[in-house]
Structure 1
Amino acid sequence: MVKNLEWDKTLKHNQSINLDQVPQDFEDAARLVRSSRIGYAVETDVKVYKIHIQEFWENAKPDTINNRGISSTV
């Protein structure tokens, strides 16, 4: 389910957005994001609990296999 949220300019990240209500100038970008693999993640409002973030960083280590990011188990 997609929530109808206003973009909060005071927050820097972790906001969902309704891609059906973008300005005309950004319709091509919205269509691209909507059809990509991250479309669902961008449009879905998910609760992330502080304990999960703490556990992620306590177990985090560099991804030495691909050198592409951080690996962790929560």
Structure 2
Amino acid sequence: MPRMATRQPEAQPVLRAFGDRLREMRLAAMLSQAQLAQRSKLQPPYIWRMESGVANPTLVTLALLSRGLGCDVADFFKSE
């Protein structure tokens, strides 16, 4: 089960920033949340929770997302 950030209020700014970056990258790839979920082998609600800053993704999830987006994991942490 994905880790939820609700028990870690200090993590909220980081998770929101990651969610914003994930959404930005998904939209740049012209993918819907459902399309990214399918490509990443994740559930669409989980994509929504990550983009909303609610879910705390694992490294494995980052690897799946990067595969779905066709990018490197490091790209999630680069500012454009």
Interval of TM-score (by shorter of Structure 1 and Structure 2) = under 0.3
TM-score by length of 2: 0.24
TM-score by length of 1: 0.25
Q: Which has the larger radius of gyration?
A: 1
Structure with the bigger RCO (C-alpha within 8 Å, sep 6+) is: 2
